[in-house]
Amino acid sequence: MKAYRVLTLFSVVYILCVLSGCFGNKAPERSYFSVDYTLSTQPRHEVPKYHATVVIQGITSALAYDRQEIVYRANPYEFQYYWYRLWASKPRKMLNELILGHLQYTNLFTNVSSTIEDRLPDYLLDVYIESIEELDMSEVEWYAHLSLKFTMTRSEDSSVVWTYAFDAKRPVASNSPVYVVKAMSELLDSELVKAFEDLDRRLSSRGMTTSERWQERAVPVSSQTADEPRSIAQPDMDFTEDTAENVPSATLRNKP
């Protein structure tokens, strides 16, 4: 029994040494990535088109994506994670910032925020992340894959006024995580433009219009007059909240 304990202790020390680089094997440094794109080329109104307020009530995600490790998949049945390639913040936090900024930029509404303040907004927007991942179709064919669902409800009666969903993928220029994130950024950019154009059409069809004075001035413009810097999400260093046990059939491994 004593020999068994000594052997067990030796095994634990050996594993810790390997992980900490006792034998000269330095662990790879972690890299942090953020989906981002320039808003200056997006459709935009000079003044708010609809005299209404919106609050992004919540952005949630499937459990497999509610973590900082970037997901990659080679088949429909298994989730795998980059151990040293991570999102700067969890996808739901990252996309909350991007969707909020994009909707504010369109100037469709008088005010768009992510918090309810002194009064209820006219509309509440919920977004569900079904997938945000790298798809490895083969050794040479990679894609960025993004799938979101939007639901907007009216605050006064909780009635649904707009739903929208997309499930899209974009080929990656080079098989590297940085190019996956670049393709993901382009994908989100183009899909949000389509989503908010659909929202505009839906509200117009429901007869939600601004006053005559606002309608005359609400002319879409294609670009900003000046570049407005936008902050990038800072790394969220919390790695204790999620573990591999939270996700069935998931694999944590160090993919180079």
Answer positive or negative: Cα dihedral of 94, 98, 99, 101.
positive
Write out the residue range of the structural domain in which residue 113 sits. 30-253
Identify whether 22 is part of a domain.
Answer: no
Higher pLDDT, 46 or 224: 46
| Best CA proximity match to 170, nearest among 147, 150, 193 | 147
Q: Which residues contact 175 (CB under 8 A, 6 or more apart)?
A: 139, 140, 142
Is residue 166 within 8 A of residue 191, CB to CB? The reply is yes
Residue 111 lies in a domain: yes
Q: Which position has the higher pLDDT, 24 or 202?
A: 202
Q: Counting every residue, how long is the chain?
A: 256
Q: Average pLDDT of 136-162?
A: 95
Q: Would residue 117 count as lying in a domain?
A: yes
Interval 172-195: pLDDT, tens: 999 999 999 999 999 999 999 999
* Cβ-Cβ contacts under 8 Å for 26 (sequence gap 6 or more): none
Domains in the chain, number = 1
Phi, psi of 154 (to 5 degrees): -85, 130
Query: Does the residue 164 lie in any domain?
Result: yes
Residue 110 pLDDT level (bands cut at 50, 70, 90)? very high
- Ramachandran angles phi, psi of 245, nearest 5°: -65, -20
In a domain, 8, yes or no: no
> Which band of pLDDT confidence, cut at 50, 70 and 90, is reported for residue 207?
confident
Is pLDDT of 244 > 80? no
Give the Cα-Cα-Cα angle 158, 164, 166 (nearest 5 degrees).
150
Predicted local confidence at residue 24, as pLDDT = 55
Give this prediction's pTM.
0.74
**Residue where the block lists tokens 């929208």:** 164
Instruction: Find the mean pLDDT for residues 16-27.
Output: 53
Nearest to 107 by CA among 221, 226, 209: 221
Sequential DSSP letters for 1-31: -HHHHHHHHHHHHHHHHHHHTTTS-PPPPPE
Work out the angle at residue 113's Cα, subtended by the Cα atoms of residues 242 and 107, and round it to the nearest 5 degrees. 130
Inside any domain, residue 143: yes
Contact at 8 Å (CB) between 158 and 122? no
Q: Is residue 47 part of a domain?
A: yes
Give the model's pLDDT for residue 221. Answer: 38
Question: What per-residue confidence (pLDDT) applies to 175?
Answer: 92
Q: How far apart are CA 79 and CA 76, in angstroms?
A: 8
CATH number of the domain within which 106 lies? 3.40.50.10610
Half-sphere exposure of 83 (CA within 13 A, CB side): 11
User: Would you say residue 161 lies in a domain?
Assistant: yes
